[in-house]
């Protein structure tokens, strides 16, 4: 994929990993549209654009299927097509134990982290299959491969679901020329850390992965020849072991 001619949609593009990916692709010449629930954060990201094209913004909830279909169509029209979808929207909650987990919080995490990814694949896959090319990148988590108390039961379940969705979609669509990659970042310095029961301090955050690290990986995968696919990729902070 030639990044300078790439047309990309990134969910969760207003903050964190999604923002890092959007700014990196834009700086390399890609046409980028970002989606998120908070219009103010989307605008802040767009204002940081340093590329030749303005970053397009679309406020919306990935868990809303009808809204997703409308935004996907509008974004494709304004971009002139679609080559790359990055599902980076995600959330977590402070009270994560099964003993205290509320049904509403369970639904929230499953709807955003798992169903939101499905909604965007469902909305964009037909156009990628029709053109016989394209890349879908799902930003999962180590919690999508290793269930831990730190992530919490609902977050773990939603990320396992997202991971299975990506793997199965990739198997089904490879013959159509559509590649799918699940990326499993370890601890990353993003606003989702603020939702921890005890948010870490700045010294701790400085040792973690940064959004631009994940952005570099997405660019590298996108630039692989069509014959090469990366189904799964784990990336962790050097100072923290992968169990």
CA terminus-to-terminus distance, the chain: 33
Unique residue bearing structure tokens 């921890």:
196
> Which among 72, 83, 50, 82 is positioned nearest to 223, based on CA atoms?
83
Give 55's DSSP letter: P
Burial (CB count <10 Å: 0-12, 13-18, 19+), residue 119: buried
Distance separating alpha carbons of residues 19 and 44, to the nearest angstrom = 10
Give 192's DSSP letter: G
Is 155 labeled as catalytic in the residue annotation? yes
- Annotated catalytic residue: which of 155, 184, 204, 242? 155
Cβ contacts of residue 139 below 8 Å, gap of 6+?
12, 17, 18, 86, 87, 88, 90, 183, 185, 214
Q: DSSP labels for 89-123?
A: -----S---TTT--HHHHHHHIIIIIIHHHHHHHH
Residue 31, strand partner residues = 7
Q: Which residues are annotated as catalytic?
A: 155
């Amino acid at each position: 994929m030639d990044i300078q001619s790439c047309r990309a949609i990134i969910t969760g593009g207003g903050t964190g990993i999604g923002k890092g990916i959007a700014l990196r692709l834009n700086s390399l010449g890609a046409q980028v549209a970002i989606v998120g629930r908070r219009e103010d954060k989307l605008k802040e990201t767009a204002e940081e654009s340093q590329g030749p094209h303005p970053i397009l913004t679309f406020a919306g909830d990935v868990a809303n299927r009808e809204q997703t279909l409308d935004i996907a169509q509008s974004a494709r029209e304004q971009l002139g097509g679609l080559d790359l979808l990055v599902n980076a929207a995600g959330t977590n909650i402070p009270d994560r134990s099964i003993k205290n987990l509320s049904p509403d919080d369970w639904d929230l995490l499953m709807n955003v982290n798992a169903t939101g990814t499905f909604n965007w694949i469902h909305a964009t896959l037909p156009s990628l299959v029709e053109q016989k090319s394209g890349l879908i990148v799902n930003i999962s988590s180590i919690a999508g491969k290793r269930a831990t108390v730190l992530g919490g039961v609902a977050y773990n379940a939603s990320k396992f679901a997202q991971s299975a969705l990506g793997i199965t979609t990739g198997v089904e669509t490879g013959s159509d020329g559509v590649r799918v990659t699940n990326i499993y970042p370890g601890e990353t310095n993003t606003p989702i850390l603020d939702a921890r029961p005890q948010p870490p301090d700045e010294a701790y955050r400085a040792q973690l992965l940064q959004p631009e690290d994940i952005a570099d990986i997405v660019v590298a995968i996108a630039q692989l020849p069509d014959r090469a696919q990366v189904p799964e990729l784990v990336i962790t902070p050097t100072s923290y072991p992968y169990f």
